[in-house]
Structures are given as structure tokens and as C-alpha cells.
Homo-oligomer: A and B are copies of this chain.
Amino acid sequence: MSETPLSIGIDFGGTSVKFGVLYRSNIIDQSPAISTPDFDGPQALIEAMLRVIEDLRERHPAIAAIGVGVPGFVHFEKGIVHNLTNVPGWTSIPLKKHLADATKLPVVVENDANCMAYAEWKRGAGRGLDHLIALTLGTGVGGGVIANGQMVRGAQFGAGEVGQMSIDWQGRRGAYGNLGALEDYIGNNEIAADTRDTYLKAGIERHLAECTPAALAKAAMAGDEIALGIWDRIAAKLATGIMNCCWLLNPQAIIIGGGVAKAGDILFTPLTAHLYAQLSAPFKEHLMILPARFGNEAGMVGAAALALEEAGVVIQP
């Protein structure tokens, strides 16, 4: 058994709740995910979570803290889940108290994009940096902000919503009334719709299912000019959102993860070009554009690492 304390990271999603045990920067054990919609309300789901936690603690007695990343607004200090867009009934749930009372362990509950940012900052691509923005590109665009060597959560713990930032003051109206939200241009579904339309204009019919970012990346890598053009447009829009973060916060690094980032150089090369063309020297000379270290496990790693550090345990990664 390890002498280094372990922690549990829980990635609470609309589809499933996933559990991992973190040792340093690695998930060394996982429990089978439980299906979020199978449970009738928060109480039943919390009880199921507690059973998994108990099981993991029997296998790993060194577990010293629990972190949960949730897809929505959390009062970080109180550990109260305000609202989860995709999980009915999760309004004003004191998740931290429920878990801490039952387990007698220190618990943190944090927004999932902040967990991803925390994972990259403390254990991933951004280790040792004091100023960074982490982005995750998927169905939505999420993010987290580190400034002055601290996580920036803001007045109501809402900071980091890069996907809601506007790239067009007269653009489409988004989920919160906001015009031109970045996420409404480069989310998975928007990329797919844009791809289908672009091929259609060129006289080529494609099903939406053939227009995923993964398919689009494959086409671009094979030299398809239309696909390369679409990636250039995605890159230009994303560069605008990132540029806005840079002018405002002058970070050392932008760390980019999530499914869309799997396109690799197909995205990163035009992105860097568009971004560097729109920043002055002090903002770009030392700026790093880095792919995220963690993939699907980012939420678990971040929640688990945060839990341990909030509990006062410092791990040398």
C-alpha cells in the first residue's frame, strides 16, 4: 500500500457518473460508471455514489479526500450544486455536506471545466505556470482561468465560461440571450452543421453523421481542400475567443483539450497563425498554445487533485 495519500475523483455527467482513484497524477483504479438517468432524483443517486465510494475505500484505505466535478453551477465554498442543466432535480443540493457527513472525509465539489483546468494546471500541460487559460472543446466550449498562481472563480463561482463569450456583437442569439457565443459557432454540432452546409454548397451531399469533427479532421489530413477551409474558419473563430482572453489576462499558456482538439495540427496550426496575427508582442512572444495532457479523465484527475490540495495535502507530481 502506498504511503502517498490517494483521493477519489468523481466526474458527474448528464449520462454517467465516473469514479477514479488518483495516485499522484494517475488514475490507478476506476469503478464502473453508474448511469445518471437511472436514478430517481438526487437522493437515490447520492446513495448510489456513496456505495461506490465505500467500495473504493475498502480497496484503497489510503483514500484521504473526495472531489466531484459537476456540469453546472456550484457554490464552491459551500459545495452546493445550484443547478445542472442536463440533470433534472439537481437544484440547490448540498452535495458536499451529504458526502462529507457520510464518509467523514474532506470533500470538494467544483464545476467540471474548472476541474479540467485544475488538472492541467497542477498535473498536466500547465504545471508550474501562474497565468493560464484552459479550454475544452466538445459539444460545448468550457474553460477555466488561472491568474497570479490562483484559480479565478469570480464573485459567484461562475468564471471561465469562454464558450459564452461573444465573437460577434450582432451574431446568433445563444442559450442565455448572448449574441455570438463562441460555443454556438464551434461546438461539435455547429461544426457538423457548418460542414454539411459547406459541402452542399460545393455540390457534395453528406449526412450529418459524416460531418463530425473527427471525420472532418480525417478529410483534412487526407488533403481535402474543403475540409481544410472549414478548419481554417473554425480556427479563426476560436482564435478570436482566445485572443480576447489574452488581451484581458495576458496568460503564459492556452491549454486546449476536448474532442475537437483531437484534430491536432489540423486545428493548432491555423489557430496559432490566426492568434499570433492578432496580438502585440508582449501578448504573444512567450505565449504557449498547448494540447491538454488529459483526455476523458481530466475531470476525475482535477476533482481528485483539488480535493487533496484543499484538504491540505501537497503532492509533488
Contact = CB atoms under 8 A, between A and B. Distances in A.
Given A154-B250, A247-B165, A179 B240 contact: yes
Interface string A258-284: 000000000000000000011110110
A134 interface: no
Given A159-B250, A245-B248, A280-B176, A154 B168 contact: no
Given A279-B178, A283-B156, A148 B145 contact: no
Interface residues of A, number: 53
Given A162-B248, A236-B169, A131 B147 contact: no
A252 B286 contact: no
A219 interface: no
Given A247-B162, A250-B157, A250-B158, A169 B169 contact: no
Contacts of A285: 156
Interface in A152-198: 152-162, 164-170, 176-180
A130 to B, nearest CB: 8
Nearest to A285: B156
Contact of A168 (B147, B168, B176): B168
A82 interface: yes
A250 B155 contact: yes
A243 interface: yes
Copies in the complex: 2
A8 B177 CA distance: 46
A156 B159 CA distance: 22
Contact of A169 (B130, B150, B160, B237): B237
12 contacts: A150-B150, A153-B250, A155-B251, A155-B286, A156-B286, A159-B250, A161-B283, A162-B247, A166-B167, A166-B243, A178-B243, A178-B279
